Amino acid sequence: MPSNTYDLVVLGDDLAALVCATLCARRGMRTLVLGDDRPARYALGPHKLPVEPVLWPIGPGAAGERVLKELHAEMTLRRKLREPKIAAQLVDKDLRVDLGPDRLAGELAREIGDASEAWLARWTKARDTARLGDPLLASEHAYPGVGFFERREVSKLAEHATETAEAWWTEAQGDPRAALWQQLAAVAMRHPAPPPLAIARALDQWSMGPPAVRGDAEAIRELLVEKLTTAGGEVRAGKAAEVNVSWGKIASLTLASGDDIGCGQVVTSQPPSDIAALLGKKAPKKLGELAADIELVGHRYTLNVVIDEAGIPEHMAPTVAVLDDSPYSLHLSEPDDGGRVVATLASVVPEGQDIAAHRASLWRRLGDVMPFFEKHLVLAHSPFEATPPQAPGGRGSYDVPRTLPLAPPPVWKGSTGYLTGLKNLTLTGDQVLSDLGVEGALASGWSAAKIACALAGKKKDYLRDEVVGAAG
């Protein structure tokens, strides 16, 4: 007998899962999020370090705009965005460009002279191409679509956007800098091989200067959890050990703690192979097909480097794209009270590559961007490695939290879609729109919420939404 019953149980507490849960709770569904209590930040001594940095997509047509509007959280997030003099920078071995509104033209003219006109023309075309993704990522349809009519409508939009983006990218291959643009997109999407439409959207975001968020993923998580709990939703640590199925639907979940939880629906951000393993013999054939549709191509990796503020080059932006064969992004925190800055390196480790070798490569290349950082080093540590913090003699010793190391988030190639073959089980997460980064997570979270609410017969109650929003 279930100890408690919910309209919706969400398995996972990543960005997509929290977006889905929060939207469903605010639309009237009794919602529970079961996560693994994965921290968004962790402490080493006095230093609070991010598990992963976040570049929030803003601007008309961005997937986040729709979510924030429904949550009445636009101003809340904007207060968390940093507004530096230089929004972001692009660094290559032969190039250093400041990015942001009204900066790109002058910077390119300074760096590459007459060739800047062709670069700007390509980026202008990329901006026009990127807008074709707006109806897919920010419309009232789930993307990818579900149901015959929605799939037909979405497929038309997707086909047009994809063909136009591929034509633009084919033409762009004639420019010797096309490889840099692809690397810039790989950094933004945290994916080794983003498709042309994703490249166009990434270039559009970088040309405006992607905004840095104070508090990184922790700030986003706190915002969503606050909105979720204000609407009556719950978040708790827990792991499903067994999924109980009756008449082609999930009836309840048995947790590792032994608790039984009844559920009207389940949304999960876990890979379909993991859900199939939980279901055992009751797993529908569709889950196996979905698992075959995606391929593990790597893992996201983070390296935190704490340095004295004196080691930061003058006029360095808080977000830097460092481009080469293995591109990464560099994110600088604001100085703490002791004048120390956290430099967070974010990259993708290709499947099969040794993490220690990857870290060593990042370390060498960081010296090209911040030449004297090792003289000012306080500590260096990755939340995804079972190694003690690297700290120079005399700079202190640090106890690593027992929750570390964490499993590095997987990077998928392909797409699963949402429907699983079970009437009340829906997928969300990075495996749905794997190569669109944060925008993909936001869009898949919103789409999963749309599907769950439709199955429950719930529609957005605007009066209730205003009341809950005001209370939040």
pLDDT single digits (tens) 285-321:
999 999 999 999 999 999 999 999 999 999 899 999 9
Per the prediction, the chain carries an average pLDDT of 89
Tokens of 377: 């080093």
pLDDT of residue 61 exceeding 60, the answer is yes
Band of the pLDDT at 1, cuts 50, 70, 90?
low
**Residue intervals in the chain for CATH 3.50.50.60:** 4-39+216-293+415-471
Euclidean distance between the first and the last CA atom of the chain, given in angstroms as a whole number: 35
Average pLDDT rounded to a whole number, residues 232-243: 93
- What pTM was computed for the model? 0.93
For residue 327, what pLDDT is reported? 94
For residue 369, what pLDDT is reported? 92
For residue 425, what pLDDT is reported? 96
**Is residue 113 classed as helix, strand or coil in its secondary structure?**
helix
For residue 11, what pLDDT is reported? 96
The answer to whether the CB of 409 falls within 8 A of the CB of 415 is no
Strands 4-11 and 260-268: parallel
The answer to whether the CB of 291 falls within 8 A of the CB of 276 is yes
Rounded Cα distance between 281 and 288, Å, is: 12
The answer to whether the CB of 1 falls within 8 A of the CB of 16 is no
Average pLDDT rounded to a whole number, residues 28-43: 90
Rounded Cα distance between 401 and 48, Å, is: 12
465 phi and psi, to 5 degrees?
Answer: -60, -45
For residue 470, what pLDDT is reported? 43
The answer to whether the CB of 20 falls within 8 A of the CB of 27 is no
What is the DSSP secondary structure assignment for residue 436, as one 8-state letter? S
For residue 351, what pLDDT is reported? 93
What does the pLDDT look like over 216-236, one tens digit per residue?
788 889 999 999 999 999 999
Tokens of 434: 């794997």
113 phi and psi, to 5 degrees?
Answer: 65, -130
Residue bearing the bigger pLDDT, 419 or 83: 419
Strands 319-322 and 88-92: parallel
Band of the pLDDT at 392, cuts 50, 70, 90?
confident
pLDDT of residue 253 exceeding 70, the answer is yes
**CATH no. for 4-39+216-293+415-471:** 3.50.50.60
Average pLDDT rounded to a whole number, residues 378-399: 86
The answer to whether the CB of 17 falls within 8 A of the CB of 445 is yes
Rounded Cα distance between 302 and 52, Å, is: 6
For residue 468, what pLDDT is reported? 42
